[in-house]
Amino acid sequence: MTSGNSGEWIISDEMDGGEHNSDSGRVGQILEKLAAELVLLPAQLRAAARFVLTNPKDVALKTMREQAYLAGVSHSTMVRLAEWLGFDGYTELKVVFADWLRQNADYGSEQISYSSELLSADVDNAADWLRREVARVGAQPNIERKLLAAELLAGARRVISVGIGPQLPVASHFAEVLRSLGHAAFVFDAAQPSVTPGLKDIGPRDAILAISCEPSAKQTLAVVRYAKRRGAQIVAVVDRRQSPIEQYAQVVIVTAQPDSRFQSMAPVIASVEILAALVEQTITSSESK
């Protein structure tokens, strides 16, 4: 299967042709791509992608217009999402999910859905969901660290999300999620020549989410050092063990990196997406008490 946009992740050449011999692996590839690149999508496509991620059975069972209504987007957006994934139209995507649903029907609903449990579960139950999902999204397996990080960030007066270069859109998305929940948050570009103007009033009630990946880790480290001196809490998402930033952070999340000559942002994006969902659950849970 080819994609109309250069540089896009290609799902599988086996998706070409009139026969849709779909299986869990192929649907899993689609869901993994959506999860890994969710933060990079425009707002409307992101909403459509979230619907597919959390309602894979509905993709097979409901009409495209019904799905668009539930996702809060136009039906043309659903078509664009299918095309972004490399399909000729939404019907072709729907057939893949329908075949997957039929083939797995004998295994029960728990085996055929990546489900939206995290969106409705209490924080106490989130770890179980994550343990099933980390193998799929390539996230760091120590779920307890993510839960601890979520509690720290949710309890802060403000969250400053720090990134640089390709990490900056991921940091920006995290801050956007928190602001949508009514939580004070903003993004800080570690490429700025001086840390002081943007963080001059940071203090012990604030928290930093630092996304630190080589080869630009030095700039992010400088921001973290400054914030630590001012007493801020630090959560670090890093791409390798023994990162210099670890000595300054209360919680360190090390993402899994595939064996490749090229750095992949997918594990970082997946970890931050999971962390954002946990923070959302923590905030929602505390507000309901």
Q: Which domains does the chain carry?
A: 13-111 (1.10.10.10), 120-288 (3.40.50.10490)
Look at residue 40 in the predicted model and tell me its pLDDT: 84
The segments of the chain whose pLDDT lies below 70 read: 1-25, 103-143, 256-264, 287-289
Reported as a single tens digit per residue, the pLDDT across 227-252 is 999 999 999 998 887 888 999 999 99
Look at residue 241 in the predicted model and tell me its pLDDT: 79
Mean pLDDT of the chain: 75
In sequence order, which residues have a C-beta less than 8 Å from that of residue 176 and are 6 or more positions away? 185
Q: DSSP for the chain, please give it.
A: ---SSTTPPP--GGG-SS-----HHHHHHHHHHHHHHGGGS-HHHHHHHHHHHH-HHHHHHS-HHHHHHHHTS-HHHHHHHHHHTT-SSHHHHHHHHHHHHHHHGGG-GGGS---SHHHHS-HHHHHHHHHHHHHHHT--S-HHHHHHHHHHHHTSSEEEEEE-GGGHHHHHHHHHHHHHTT--EEEEETTSS-SHHHHTT--TTEEEEEEE-TTSHHHHHHHHHHHHHTT-EEEEEESSTT-GGGGG-SEEEEPP--SSSS--SHHHHHHHHHHHHHHHHHHHHHHH-
Reported as a single tens digit per residue, the pLDDT across 46-81 is 889 888 887 888 888 888 888 898 888 998 999 999
CB–CB of 105/28 below 8 Å? no
Look at residue 273 in the predicted model and tell me its pLDDT: 80
pTM: 0.55
